[in-house]
Amino acid sequence: MKYDILIGVSIGVFAFLMVLGYNVLPIGLLIVTGFLVWKFVISRQLVKNGNGIAISTTGVDFEDIGGQNVAKKELQEALDFLLYSDRMKVLGIRPLKGILLSGPTGTGKTLLAKAAARYTNSTFLSVSGSEFVEMYAGVGAERVRSLFRRARDMVRKEKKTSAIIFIDEMDILGAKRGSNVSHHEYDQTLNQLLIEMDGLKMDQGAHILVMAATNRPEALDDALLRPGRFDRQVKVDLPDKEGRLAILKIHTTNKPIAQGTRLEEIAHETFGFSGAHLESVTNEAAILALREEANEITERHLREAVEKVMLGEKLDRKPTEEEIRRIAIHESGHAILAESVRPNSVSQVSIRSRGNALGYVRHYPKDDQYLYTQAMLEEQIMVALAGALAEEQLLGARSTGAAGDYEQALNLVEKILQSGMSPLGVTDISRLNADQRQSVTKDILAELEERTMKIIEENKESLLKITEILTTEETLNGDILRTYLKSIA
Protein backbone atom coordinates (compact mmCIF):
# COMPACT_ATOMS: atom_id res chain seq x y z
CA MET A 1 0.00 0.00 0.00
CA LYS A 2 2.77 2.45 0.92
CA TYR A 3 4.56 1.69 -2.38
CA ASP A 4 1.35 2.40 -4.33
CA ILE A 5 1.02 5.78 -2.63
CA LEU A 6 4.68 6.61 -3.26
CA ILE A 7 4.42 5.72 -6.95
CA GLY A 8 1.22 7.74 -7.35
CA VAL A 9 2.72 10.81 -5.67
CA SER A 10 5.90 10.53 -7.77
CA ILE A 11 3.92 10.42 -11.03
CA GLY A 12 1.91 13.44 -9.94
CA VAL A 13 5.06 15.42 -9.07
CA PHE A 14 6.71 14.56 -12.41
CA ALA A 15 3.60 15.55 -14.35
CA PHE A 16 3.43 18.85 -12.48
CA LEU A 17 7.12 19.63 -13.19
CA MET A 18 6.69 18.78 -16.87
CA VAL A 19 3.75 21.22 -17.09
CA LEU A 20 5.99 23.90 -15.60
CA GLY A 21 8.56 23.23 -18.36
CA TYR A 22 11.24 21.33 -16.44
CA ASN A 23 13.20 18.50 -18.11
CA VAL A 24 12.54 15.61 -15.73
CA LEU A 25 13.53 12.78 -18.11
CA PRO A 26 17.07 12.18 -16.69
CA ILE A 27 15.80 12.11 -13.11
CA GLY A 28 12.92 9.86 -14.13
CA LEU A 29 15.21 7.34 -15.82
CA LEU A 30 17.48 7.29 -12.75
CA ILE A 31 14.55 6.59 -10.42
CA VAL A 32 13.11 3.86 -12.68
CA THR A 33 16.55 2.19 -12.88
CA GLY A 34 16.90 2.28 -9.10
CA PHE A 35 13.43 0.77 -8.67
CA LEU A 36 14.20 -2.08 -11.08
CA VAL A 37 17.48 -2.83 -9.29
CA TRP A 38 15.61 -2.94 -5.97
CA LYS A 39 12.84 -5.18 -7.31
CA PHE A 40 14.91 -7.73 -9.18
CA VAL A 41 18.18 -7.78 -7.21
CA ILE A 42 18.03 -6.41 -3.69
CA SER A 43 14.49 -7.54 -2.77
CA ARG A 44 15.14 -11.04 -4.17
CA GLN A 45 18.34 -11.20 -2.13
CA LEU A 46 16.37 -10.30 0.99
CA VAL A 47 13.99 -13.16 0.19
CA LYS A 48 16.89 -15.59 -0.18
CA ASN A 49 18.29 -14.41 3.15
CA GLY A 50 15.09 -15.55 4.86
CA ASN A 51 13.32 -12.24 5.50
CA GLY A 52 10.48 -12.86 7.98
CA ILE A 53 11.58 -16.41 8.88
CA ALA A 54 12.24 -17.08 12.57
CA ILE A 55 14.52 -20.01 13.39
CA SER A 56 14.58 -21.01 17.03
CA THR A 57 15.46 -23.81 19.39
CA THR A 58 12.27 -24.12 21.39
CA GLY A 59 12.22 -25.01 25.08
CA VAL A 60 8.46 -25.61 25.13
CA ASP A 61 7.35 -29.14 25.98
CA PHE A 62 3.90 -30.70 25.87
CA GLU A 63 3.88 -30.75 29.68
CA ASP A 64 4.12 -26.94 29.60
CA ILE A 65 0.77 -26.69 27.78
CA GLY A 66 -2.37 -27.14 29.85
CA GLY A 67 -5.99 -27.61 28.90
CA GLN A 68 -5.42 -29.31 25.55
CA ASN A 69 -5.13 -32.99 26.41
CA VAL A 70 -7.15 -34.19 23.41
CA ALA A 71 -5.24 -31.98 20.97
CA LYS A 72 -1.88 -33.00 22.46
CA LYS A 73 -2.70 -36.69 22.26
CA GLU A 74 -3.87 -36.43 18.66
CA LEU A 75 -0.83 -34.37 17.71
CA GLN A 76 1.63 -36.74 19.41
CA GLU A 77 0.15 -39.70 17.54
CA ALA A 78 0.64 -37.85 14.25
CA LEU A 79 4.20 -36.87 15.18
CA ASP A 80 5.13 -40.50 15.76
CA PHE A 81 5.38 -40.71 11.96
CA LEU A 82 8.54 -38.61 12.29
CA LEU A 83 9.94 -40.49 15.27
CA TYR A 84 9.35 -43.97 13.90
CA SER A 85 9.78 -43.36 10.17
CA ASP A 86 11.66 -46.66 9.61
CA ARG A 87 8.81 -48.69 11.07
CA MET A 88 6.32 -46.74 8.96
CA LYS A 89 8.37 -47.43 5.83
CA VAL A 90 8.28 -51.19 6.51
CA LEU A 91 4.48 -51.03 6.71
CA GLY A 92 4.31 -49.03 3.48
CA ILE A 93 2.92 -45.91 5.15
CA ARG A 94 3.60 -42.72 3.23
CA PRO A 95 5.21 -39.91 5.23
CA LEU A 96 3.04 -37.31 6.90
CA LYS A 97 3.38 -33.95 5.13
CA GLY A 98 1.16 -31.49 6.94
CA ILE A 99 -0.77 -30.91 10.18
CA LEU A 100 -3.36 -28.15 10.43
CA LEU A 101 -4.12 -26.67 13.87
CA SER A 102 -7.45 -24.88 13.91
CA GLY A 103 -9.31 -23.11 16.70
CA PRO A 104 -9.97 -19.75 18.35
CA THR A 105 -7.15 -17.29 18.97
CA GLY A 106 -5.15 -17.68 22.17
CA THR A 107 -5.72 -21.42 22.58
CA GLY A 108 -2.05 -22.42 22.21
CA LYS A 109 -1.62 -23.41 18.56
CA THR A 110 1.84 -21.84 18.31
CA LEU A 111 2.91 -23.44 21.60
CA LEU A 112 1.79 -26.84 20.31
CA ALA A 113 3.89 -26.37 17.19
CA LYS A 114 6.95 -25.49 19.28
CA ALA A 115 6.34 -28.47 21.55
CA ALA A 116 6.06 -30.68 18.47
CA ALA A 117 9.53 -29.58 17.36
CA ARG A 118 11.01 -30.50 20.72
CA TYR A 119 9.08 -33.79 20.89
CA THR A 120 10.53 -34.87 17.54
CA ASN A 121 13.94 -33.15 17.98
CA SER A 122 13.33 -31.20 14.78
CA THR A 123 14.61 -27.89 13.48
CA PHE A 124 11.86 -25.32 13.99
CA LEU A 125 11.16 -22.52 11.50
CA SER A 126 8.18 -20.23 11.94
CA VAL A 127 6.71 -17.62 9.63
CA SER A 128 3.46 -15.68 9.31
CA GLY A 129 1.20 -16.13 6.28
CA SER A 130 1.27 -12.38 5.72
CA GLU A 131 5.05 -12.53 5.08
CA PHE A 132 4.43 -14.23 1.72
CA VAL A 133 1.99 -11.74 0.22
CA GLU A 134 3.41 -8.89 -1.87
CA MET A 135 1.98 -6.72 -4.64
CA TYR A 136 4.84 -7.70 -6.98
CA ALA A 137 4.47 -10.91 -8.98
CA GLY A 138 6.73 -13.77 -8.04
CA VAL A 139 7.98 -12.51 -4.66
CA GLY A 140 5.60 -14.67 -2.60
CA ALA A 141 6.36 -17.82 -4.59
CA GLU A 142 10.10 -17.21 -4.25
CA ARG A 143 9.68 -16.81 -0.49
CA VAL A 144 7.94 -20.19 -0.32
CA ARG A 145 10.81 -21.84 -2.24
CA SER A 146 13.32 -20.06 -0.02
CA LEU A 147 11.54 -21.25 3.12
CA PHE A 148 11.77 -24.93 2.16
CA ARG A 149 15.40 -24.50 1.00
CA ARG A 150 16.22 -22.88 4.32
CA ALA A 151 14.61 -25.77 6.22
CA ARG A 152 16.73 -28.36 4.39
CA ASP A 153 19.90 -26.30 4.92
CA MET A 154 19.18 -25.94 8.66
CA VAL A 155 18.61 -29.69 9.04
CA ARG A 156 22.04 -30.38 7.53
CA LYS A 157 23.67 -27.61 9.56
CA GLU A 158 22.17 -28.82 12.87
CA LYS A 159 22.75 -32.48 11.92
CA LYS A 160 19.14 -33.48 12.49
CA THR A 161 16.83 -35.68 10.45
CA SER A 162 13.70 -33.52 10.33
CA ALA A 163 12.41 -29.97 10.31
CA ILE A 164 9.04 -28.44 11.19
CA ILE A 165 7.92 -25.41 9.23
CA PHE A 166 5.20 -23.57 11.14
CA ILE A 167 3.01 -21.14 9.17
CA ASP A 168 0.79 -18.94 11.32
CA GLU A 169 -2.23 -17.12 9.85
CA MET A 170 -2.55 -19.82 7.21
CA ASP A 171 -5.85 -18.35 6.02
CA ILE A 172 -3.93 -15.42 4.51
CA LEU A 173 -1.55 -17.58 2.48
CA GLY A 174 -3.96 -20.44 1.81
CA ALA A 175 -7.23 -18.62 1.08
CA LYS A 176 -9.44 -20.13 -1.61
CA ARG A 177 -8.02 -19.38 -5.04
CA GLY A 178 -10.00 -16.72 -6.85
CA SER A 179 -11.13 -15.05 -3.61
CA ASN A 180 -8.57 -12.26 -4.11
CA VAL A 181 -9.59 -11.10 -7.56
CA SER A 182 -7.56 -7.88 -7.48
CA HIS A 183 -4.33 -9.66 -8.47
CA HIS A 184 -3.11 -13.24 -8.86
CA GLU A 185 -0.06 -13.04 -6.59
CA TYR A 186 -2.03 -14.78 -3.82
CA ASP A 187 -2.91 -17.70 -6.09
CA GLN A 188 0.65 -17.98 -7.44
CA THR A 189 2.04 -18.11 -3.89
CA LEU A 190 -0.45 -20.78 -2.84
CA ASN A 191 0.31 -22.84 -5.97
CA GLN A 192 3.99 -22.79 -5.06
CA LEU A 193 3.21 -24.02 -1.53
CA LEU A 194 1.15 -26.89 -2.97
CA ILE A 195 4.03 -27.82 -5.30
CA GLU A 196 6.55 -27.79 -2.44
CA MET A 197 4.31 -29.98 -0.26
CA ASP A 198 3.78 -32.44 -3.10
CA GLY A 199 7.55 -32.71 -3.45
CA LEU A 200 8.20 -33.65 0.18
CA LYS A 201 9.68 -37.14 0.34
CA MET A 202 11.63 -39.10 2.92
CA ASP A 203 14.42 -39.94 0.47
CA GLN A 204 15.53 -36.28 0.24
CA GLY A 205 17.74 -36.65 3.31
CA ALA A 206 15.47 -34.64 5.59
CA HIS A 207 11.83 -35.06 6.48
CA ILE A 208 10.05 -31.70 6.42
CA LEU A 209 6.70 -31.46 8.17
CA VAL A 210 4.52 -28.41 7.54
CA MET A 211 2.39 -27.28 10.46
CA ALA A 212 -0.08 -24.45 10.04
CA ALA A 213 -2.48 -22.57 12.32
CA THR A 214 -5.71 -20.79 11.52
CA ASN A 215 -8.90 -19.71 13.24
CA ARG A 216 -10.76 -19.76 9.92
CA PRO A 217 -10.36 -23.26 8.43
CA GLU A 218 -13.44 -22.74 6.25
CA ALA A 219 -11.52 -20.03 4.33
CA LEU A 220 -8.75 -22.41 3.21
CA ASP A 221 -8.49 -23.71 -0.34
CA ASP A 222 -9.77 -27.27 -0.79
CA ALA A 223 -6.51 -28.33 -2.43
CA LEU A 224 -4.68 -27.69 0.85
CA LEU A 225 -7.00 -29.91 2.86
CA ARG A 226 -6.97 -32.98 0.66
CA PRO A 227 -5.05 -36.10 1.79
CA GLY A 228 -1.38 -35.93 0.91
CA ARG A 229 -0.99 -32.31 1.96
CA PHE A 230 -2.48 -31.46 5.34
CA ASP A 231 -3.09 -35.08 6.31
CA ARG A 232 -4.13 -34.29 9.88
CA GLN A 233 -6.43 -31.58 11.16
CA VAL A 234 -6.21 -31.04 14.93
CA LYS A 235 -8.91 -28.99 16.64
CA VAL A 236 -7.48 -26.74 19.38
CA ASP A 237 -10.55 -25.55 21.22
CA LEU A 238 -11.21 -23.41 24.28
CA PRO A 239 -10.36 -25.32 27.48
CA ASP A 240 -13.04 -26.79 29.74
CA LYS A 241 -13.07 -26.28 33.52
CA GLU A 242 -10.40 -28.93 34.19
CA GLY A 243 -8.28 -27.52 31.38
CA ARG A 244 -8.58 -23.99 32.75
CA LEU A 245 -7.50 -25.21 36.17
CA ALA A 246 -4.47 -26.94 34.65
CA ILE A 247 -3.52 -23.75 32.78
CA LEU A 248 -3.89 -21.63 35.93
CA LYS A 249 -1.63 -24.04 37.85
CA ILE A 250 1.02 -23.83 35.12
CA HIS A 251 1.01 -20.03 35.09
CA THR A 252 1.09 -19.69 38.89
CA THR A 253 4.01 -22.08 39.51
CA ASN A 254 6.46 -19.15 39.39
CA LYS A 255 4.24 -16.83 41.45
CA PRO A 256 3.74 -16.62 45.24
CA ILE A 257 0.11 -17.69 45.67
CA ALA A 258 -1.42 -17.16 49.13
CA GLN A 259 -2.42 -20.19 51.18
CA GLY A 260 -6.10 -21.04 50.75
CA THR A 261 -6.44 -19.48 47.30
CA ARG A 262 -9.05 -21.52 45.42
CA LEU A 263 -7.87 -21.80 41.85
CA GLU A 264 -10.81 -24.14 41.23
CA GLU A 265 -13.19 -21.22 41.79
CA ILE A 266 -11.26 -19.00 39.40
CA ALA A 267 -11.36 -21.79 36.79
CA HIS A 268 -15.11 -22.14 37.38
CA GLU A 269 -15.72 -18.41 36.83
CA THR A 270 -13.68 -18.13 33.63
CA PHE A 271 -15.87 -20.12 31.24
CA GLY A 272 -15.01 -19.14 27.67
CA PHE A 273 -11.48 -17.96 28.53
CA SER A 274 -8.61 -19.12 26.33
CA GLY A 275 -5.15 -20.04 27.57
CA ALA A 276 -3.92 -16.56 26.63
CA HIS A 277 -6.72 -14.98 28.69
CA LEU A 278 -5.83 -17.12 31.71
CA GLU A 279 -2.14 -16.26 31.42
CA SER A 280 -3.16 -12.60 31.36
CA VAL A 281 -5.31 -13.13 34.47
CA THR A 282 -2.37 -14.49 36.48
CA ASN A 283 -0.10 -11.71 35.20
CA GLU A 284 -2.62 -8.96 36.03
CA ALA A 285 -3.14 -10.48 39.49
CA ALA A 286 0.61 -10.28 40.10
CA ILE A 287 0.61 -6.63 38.97
CA LEU A 288 -2.25 -5.84 41.37
CA ALA A 289 -0.32 -7.45 44.23
CA LEU A 290 2.76 -5.40 43.27
CA ARG A 291 0.72 -2.16 43.36
CA GLU A 292 -0.45 -3.00 46.87
CA GLU A 293 3.11 -3.99 47.89
CA ALA A 294 1.76 -7.41 48.87
CA ASN A 295 4.09 -10.39 49.21
CA GLU A 296 1.54 -12.89 47.91
CA ILE A 297 -1.18 -13.08 45.30
CA THR A 298 -4.58 -13.65 46.90
CA GLU A 299 -7.87 -14.89 45.52
CA ARG A 300 -9.13 -11.30 45.57
CA HIS A 301 -6.30 -10.27 43.24
CA LEU A 302 -7.20 -13.07 40.85
CA ARG A 303 -10.91 -12.20 40.86
CA GLU A 304 -10.17 -8.55 40.14
CA ALA A 305 -7.80 -9.63 37.38
CA VAL A 306 -10.61 -11.69 35.81
CA GLU A 307 -12.78 -8.56 35.74
CA LYS A 308 -9.99 -6.51 34.21
CA VAL A 309 -9.36 -9.06 31.45
CA MET A 310 -13.10 -9.30 30.72
CA LEU A 311 -14.08 -5.63 30.97
CA GLY A 312 -10.96 -3.48 31.10
CA GLU A 313 -9.33 -1.23 33.68
CA LYS A 314 -11.30 0.76 36.25
CA LEU A 315 -12.07 4.26 35.04
CA ASP A 316 -11.72 7.52 36.94
CA ARG A 317 -14.94 9.03 35.57
CA LYS A 318 -17.45 9.91 38.27
CA PRO A 319 -21.16 9.75 37.33
CA THR A 320 -23.56 12.13 39.05
CA GLU A 321 -25.54 10.94 42.08
CA GLU A 322 -28.63 10.60 39.91
CA GLU A 323 -26.69 8.45 37.40
CA ILE A 324 -25.18 6.34 40.20
CA ARG A 325 -28.67 5.56 41.54
CA ARG A 326 -29.92 4.67 38.08
CA ILE A 327 -26.90 2.41 37.44
CA ALA A 328 -27.44 0.72 40.83
CA ILE A 329 -31.12 0.10 40.01
CA HIS A 330 -30.16 -1.25 36.58
CA GLU A 331 -27.53 -3.68 37.87
CA SER A 332 -29.70 -4.72 40.83
CA GLY A 333 -32.44 -5.60 38.36
CA HIS A 334 -30.05 -7.85 36.41
CA ALA A 335 -28.77 -9.51 39.61
CA ILE A 336 -32.17 -10.15 41.22
CA LEU A 337 -33.67 -11.53 38.01
CA ALA A 338 -30.63 -13.81 37.51
CA GLU A 339 -30.95 -15.16 41.06
CA SER A 340 -34.68 -15.68 40.53
CA VAL A 341 -34.42 -17.76 37.35
CA ARG A 342 -30.97 -19.30 37.97
CA PRO A 343 -30.17 -19.45 41.71
CA ASN A 344 -26.49 -19.05 42.69
CA SER A 345 -25.53 -17.83 39.21
CA VAL A 346 -24.30 -14.32 40.14
CA SER A 347 -20.59 -14.07 40.83
CA GLN A 348 -20.41 -10.30 41.35
CA VAL A 349 -22.43 -7.13 40.86
CA SER A 350 -20.77 -3.72 40.68
CA ILE A 351 -21.48 -0.11 39.76
CA ARG A 352 -17.80 0.74 39.24
CA SER A 353 -17.01 1.80 35.69
CA ARG A 354 -14.78 -0.56 33.72
CA GLY A 355 -14.00 -0.23 30.02
CA ASN A 356 -17.23 0.74 28.27
CA ALA A 357 -19.45 -0.48 31.12
CA LEU A 358 -20.82 1.90 33.75
CA GLY A 359 -21.70 -1.14 35.86
CA TYR A 360 -21.86 -4.89 35.40
CA VAL A 361 -23.12 -8.19 36.76
CA ARG A 362 -20.76 -11.12 36.31
CA HIS A 363 -22.36 -14.55 36.02
CA TYR A 364 -20.95 -18.04 36.00
CA PRO A 365 -22.72 -21.22 35.00
CA LYS A 366 -23.14 -24.16 37.35
CA ASP A 367 -21.20 -26.21 34.80
CA ASP A 368 -19.62 -25.45 31.43
CA GLN A 369 -22.59 -25.16 29.08
CA TYR A 370 -22.39 -26.10 25.41
CA LEU A 371 -26.05 -26.79 24.64
CA TYR A 372 -28.99 -24.55 25.53
CA THR A 373 -32.68 -25.34 25.76
CA GLN A 374 -35.38 -22.83 24.86
CA ALA A 375 -36.00 -22.19 28.58
CA MET A 376 -32.29 -21.40 29.13
CA LEU A 377 -32.22 -18.93 26.23
CA GLU A 378 -35.41 -17.26 27.44
CA GLU A 379 -33.95 -16.92 30.94
CA GLN A 380 -30.85 -15.22 29.50
CA ILE A 381 -33.06 -12.81 27.56
CA MET A 382 -35.05 -12.01 30.70
CA VAL A 383 -31.84 -11.28 32.62
CA ALA A 384 -30.73 -8.95 29.80
CA LEU A 385 -34.08 -7.10 29.82
CA ALA A 386 -34.26 -6.81 33.62
CA GLY A 387 -31.98 -3.78 33.94
CA ALA A 388 -34.10 -1.50 31.76
CA LEU A 389 -37.36 -2.79 33.27
CA ALA A 390 -36.03 -2.17 36.80
CA GLU A 391 -35.31 1.44 35.78
CA GLU A 392 -38.82 1.75 34.40
CA GLN A 393 -40.35 0.26 37.55
CA LEU A 394 -38.58 2.58 40.03
CA LEU A 395 -37.81 5.68 37.94
CA GLY A 396 -40.63 5.62 35.39
CA ALA A 397 -38.37 5.58 32.31
CA ARG A 398 -35.57 3.62 30.68
CA SER A 399 -32.13 4.95 29.66
CA THR A 400 -29.52 4.46 26.94
CA GLY A 401 -27.55 2.24 29.34
CA ALA A 402 -29.66 -0.70 28.18
CA ALA A 403 -28.45 -0.55 24.55
CA GLY A 404 -25.92 -3.35 25.04
CA ASP A 405 -28.52 -5.45 26.86
CA TYR A 406 -30.94 -5.13 23.95
CA GLU A 407 -28.22 -6.18 21.51
CA GLN A 408 -27.56 -9.28 23.60
CA ALA A 409 -31.30 -10.04 23.80
CA LEU A 410 -31.70 -9.73 20.02
CA ASN A 411 -28.77 -12.09 19.44
CA LEU A 412 -30.39 -14.64 21.74
CA VAL A 413 -33.72 -14.29 19.92
CA GLU A 414 -31.80 -14.97 16.69
CA LYS A 415 -30.55 -18.23 18.22
CA ILE A 416 -34.12 -19.18 19.08
CA LEU A 417 -35.17 -18.58 15.47
CA GLN A 418 -32.20 -20.51 14.03
CA SER A 419 -32.84 -23.46 16.36
CA GLY A 420 -36.50 -23.82 15.37
CA MET A 421 -37.74 -22.84 18.85
CA SER A 422 -39.88 -19.88 17.74
CA PRO A 423 -43.60 -20.04 16.81
CA LEU A 424 -42.43 -20.45 13.21
CA GLY A 425 -40.91 -23.82 14.05
CA VAL A 426 -38.10 -25.23 11.90
CA THR A 427 -37.70 -22.87 8.98
CA ASP A 428 -35.06 -21.31 6.74
CA ILE A 429 -34.81 -17.92 8.41
CA SER A 430 -32.80 -16.53 5.47
CA ARG A 431 -36.03 -16.74 3.44
CA LEU A 432 -37.99 -14.62 5.93
CA ASN A 433 -38.38 -10.97 4.99
CA ALA A 434 -37.62 -8.18 7.44
CA ASP A 435 -41.26 -7.70 8.46
CA GLN A 436 -41.71 -11.39 9.28
CA ARG A 437 -38.57 -11.55 11.40
CA GLN A 438 -39.40 -8.30 13.15
CA SER A 439 -42.92 -9.51 13.95
CA VAL A 440 -41.72 -12.79 15.50
CA THR A 441 -38.89 -11.05 17.39
CA LYS A 442 -41.28 -8.44 18.76
CA ASP A 443 -43.75 -11.08 19.97
CA ILE A 444 -41.03 -13.10 21.73
CA LEU A 445 -39.56 -10.03 23.45
CA ALA A 446 -43.00 -8.72 24.46
CA GLU A 447 -43.88 -12.00 26.18
CA LEU A 448 -40.52 -12.18 27.96
CA GLU A 449 -40.74 -8.51 29.02
CA GLU A 450 -44.09 -9.24 30.62
CA ARG A 451 -42.69 -12.22 32.53
CA THR A 452 -39.63 -10.20 33.58
CA MET A 453 -41.66 -7.24 34.81
CA LYS A 454 -43.84 -9.57 36.89
CA ILE A 455 -40.76 -10.93 38.71
CA ILE A 456 -39.43 -7.40 39.25
CA GLU A 457 -42.74 -6.25 40.71
CA GLU A 458 -42.80 -9.25 43.05
CA ASN A 459 -39.26 -8.40 44.22
CA LYS A 460 -39.64 -4.62 44.38
CA GLU A 461 -38.67 -4.49 48.06
CA SER A 462 -35.50 -6.49 47.36
CA LEU A 463 -34.74 -4.25 44.38
CA LEU A 464 -34.93 -1.12 46.53
CA LYS A 465 -32.81 -2.62 49.30
CA ILE A 466 -30.07 -4.01 47.03
CA THR A 467 -29.98 -0.66 45.17
CA GLU A 468 -29.42 1.15 48.46
CA ILE A 469 -26.66 -1.25 49.53
CA LEU A 470 -25.00 -1.19 46.13
CA THR A 471 -25.00 2.61 46.03
CA THR A 472 -23.03 2.58 49.28
CA GLU A 473 -20.81 -0.48 48.81
CA GLU A 474 -20.33 -0.17 45.01
CA THR A 475 -19.51 -3.89 44.70
CA LEU A 476 -21.11 -7.06 46.09
CA ASN A 477 -19.93 -10.59 45.48
CA GLY A 478 -22.49 -13.29 44.82
CA ASP A 479 -22.46 -14.81 48.32
CA ILE A 480 -23.08 -11.46 50.04
CA LEU A 481 -25.82 -10.62 47.54
CA ARG A 482 -27.61 -13.89 48.28
CA THR A 483 -27.27 -13.30 52.03
CA TYR A 484 -28.97 -9.90 51.69
CA LEU A 485 -31.72 -11.35 49.48
CA LYS A 486 -32.46 -14.09 52.04
CA SER A 487 -32.62 -11.55 54.89
CA ILE A 488 -35.02 -9.34 52.94
CA ALA A 489 -37.25 -12.29 52.12
Kindly tell me the burial class for residue 155, based on how many C-beta atoms sit within 10 Å of its own C-beta (0-12, 13-18, 19 or more).
buried
Give CA–CA dist 393/329, Å, rounded.
Answer: 10
What is the 8-class DSSP label of residue 346?
Answer: E
Give CA–CA dist 98/165, Å, rounded.
Answer: 9
Q: State whether residue 350 is helix, strand or coil.
A: strand
Give CA–CA dist 347/96, Å, rounded.
Answer: 47
In 3D space, the residue among 202, 16, 245, 214 whose CA is nearest the CA of residue 97 turns out to be 202
Strands of 360-363's sheet in order across: 360-363, 346-350, 475-477
What is the 8-class DSSP label of residue 356?
Answer: T
Residues 273, 274, 280, 282, Cα dihedral to 10°: 70
Give CA–CA dist 240/270, Å, rounded.
Answer: 10
Catalytic (active site) residue 331? yes
Give CA–CA dist 284/293, Å, rounded.
Answer: 14
Q: Which position among 331, 379, 391, 392 bears the catalytic label?
A: 331
Which three-class secondary structure string do you get for 215-262?
A: CCHHHECHHHHCCCCCCEEEECCCCCHHHHHHHHHHHHCCCCECCCCC
Angle, vertex CA 398, rays to CA 392 and CA 402, nearest 5: 120
Question: Residues, the chain, total?
Answer: 489
What is the 8-class DSSP label of residue 159?
Answer: T
Angle between helices 403-418 and 434-458 (to 10 degrees): 120
Give CA–CA dist 135/185, Å, rounded.
Answer: 7
Residues 193, 110, 234, 85, Cα dihedral to 10°: 70
Which residues are the active-site residues? Answer: 331
